[in-house]
Amino acid sequence: MERIGDSKSIKLRYLWHLNEYPSNSGATIPHHIAEHLFGYMDDKDYYLIDPNHSTIELYAEYLKSLDIDSCLIFPVKMHNRIYGFIGIDQCCGDHIWQPREVFILNQVSELISHAVIQKMTLRELHHTNAILNKVLDSIHAIIVVIDINTNRILYLNQFARNIFGNVEGKFCWEQLHGDLKTMCENCPRPGVGEYKDQKVVIKEIQNSYWKRWYHTTNTIIDWIDGKKAHLEIAIDITDRVETEERMRMTATSLEDLNHTKDKFFSIVAHDLKNPLYSLMGFAELIRNSAHQLSSNEIEEYSDLIYQSARNTHQLLQNLMTWSQSQTGKLRFNPSQVDITHLLDNAIEFVKPVAKQKNITLTHHYEISRALNIDPNMITAAVRNLLSNAVKFTPPDGQIKIGYFKDEEQYCIAIEDNGIGLSESDINKLFRIDIDHRSIGSTYTDAKGTGLGLILVKEFVHQHGGNIKVQSTEGQGSTFIICLPQSLALD
- Give pLDDT tens digits for 348-407: 988 888 888 899 999 999 988 889 998 888 988 998 899 889 988 999 999 999 999 988
186 band by pLDDT with thresholds 50, 70 and 90:
low
CA distance 382 to 100: 118
Asked whether 1 and 11 are in contact (CB, 8 A), the reply is yes
Asked whether 144 and 232 are in contact (CB, 8 A), the reply is yes
- The whole-number pLDDT of residue 361 equals 94
CA distance 19 to 35: 30
- The whole-number pLDDT of residue 327 equals 63
Residue 164 scores a pLDDT above 60: yes
Q: Please state the pTM of the whole predicted model.
A: 0.47
The average confidence (pLDDT) of the chain is 82
- The whole-number pLDDT of residue 442 equals 44
Tens digit of each residue's pLDDT (9 = 90 or more) over 126-142: 888 899 889 989 999 99
Domain limits, the chain: 2-135, 140-236, 273-326, 335-487
The CATH classification number of 335-487 equals 3.30.565.10
Tens digit of each residue's pLDDT (9 = 90 or more) over 93-103: 677 888 898 88
The CATH classification number of 140-236 equals 3.30.450.20
- The whole-number pLDDT of residue 444 equals 47
Asked whether 449 and 361 are in contact (CB, 8 A), the reply is no
- DSSP H helical segments within 88-221, as ranges? 99-138, 158-164, 172-175
Tens digit of each residue's pLDDT (9 = 90 or more) over 262-313: 766 665 665 566 677 778 887 888 888 878 888 888 888 787 788 778 777 7
Which residues does residue 414 pair with via DSSP β-bridges, in sequence order?
Answer: 401, 479
CA distance 220 to 306: 81
Tens digit of each residue's pLDDT (9 = 90 or more) over 462-487: 899 999 999 988 889 999 999 999 88
Asked whether 352 and 310 are in contact (CB, 8 A), the reply is no
Residue 205 scores a pLDDT above 60: yes
What is each CA distance from 39 to 42, 47, 311, in whole angstroms? 5, 11, 109
Categorise residue 328: left if φ over 0, alpha if ψ from -120 to 50, beta otherwise.
Answer: left
Tens digit of each residue's pLDDT (9 = 90 or more) over 429-447: 877 656 555 455 444 445 5
Domains 2-135 and 140-236 are alike in CATH topology? yes
CA distance 89 to 72: 6
What is the mean pLDDT of the segment spanning 148-165?
90
191 band by pLDDT with thresholds 50, 70 and 90:
confident
Tens digit of each residue's pLDDT (9 = 90 or more) over 67-118: 777 888 888 887 778 888 888 887 666 778 888 988 888 888 888 888 878 8
The CATH classification number of 2-135 equals 3.30.450.40
* DSSP state letter for 27: P
Percent pLDDT > 90 in the chain is 23
